[in-house]
Structure 1
């Protein structure tokens, strides 16, 4: 007998991540949307890679479309939800490294997600 699929965790958007995501080309939204669904159900999305410098549980999705690179960063550290921390089009033409300004924004939003998670746990929601 096949194992039962894990119930889907909620998907929560931090800061402007949803608004920024909605500005991506529809093909990128479709691709990331499917991959976020996989993460919600406890599966490993094909393009998911750990984001360096954040330890375990912070993951980035990468998609290339029409010569541009799009990224969505989320965390699976909290049991009740997947928190999308940041969605952005990579502008730097030098290498694949995530620009420092984006890294700092991701760190701040990870702290916001942690505070939201703690608040939800304390209030039983």
Structure 2
């Protein structure tokens, strides 16, 4: 099972989800750690290769952007409440910057996992 590594303030953001959404997020992230797909997800190619978004709906829409493409861990890049139909540029940029930070610390480029 891969460990989880939270990038930036993604863990703190996840802690602001209501308890039922936190519980579901934990369940879905555990599936990812075990090498399985989350129940509801989509690719986020605009952020980077291998980046996915977990979609959680409990009263509101919650999102967790992550990558499991690295062999050592599942990196949680961003967690947020989605308030509009389209994911905001701010949320996409935040996840993309965090992915680049992970790649930089690992000395790798996008796609070289």
Q: TM-score range by the shorter chain?
A: 0.7 to 0.9
Q: In the alignment, what sits opposite 2:8?
A: 15
Q: In the alignment, what sits opposite 2:42?
A: 49
Find out whether 1:35 has 2:28 as its counterpart. yes
Q: In the alignment, what sits opposite 1:103?
A: 92
* RMSD after superposition: 1.6
Structure 1 stretches of 4+ with a deviation exceeding 6 A read none
**Residue-pair matches, total:** 108
Find out whether 1:116 has 2:105 as its counterpart. yes
Q: Find 1:25's aligned residue among 2, 18, 32.
A: 18
2:33 and 2:10 map into 1 onto residues whose CA distance is 17
Structure 2: tracts of 5 or more residues without a match: 109-113
SS at match of 1:59: strand
Structure 1: tracts of 5 or more residues without a match: 1-7, 120-125
Deviations 1:4-31 (A, max 9, x none): xxxx101000001000101101111111
Max Rg structure: 1
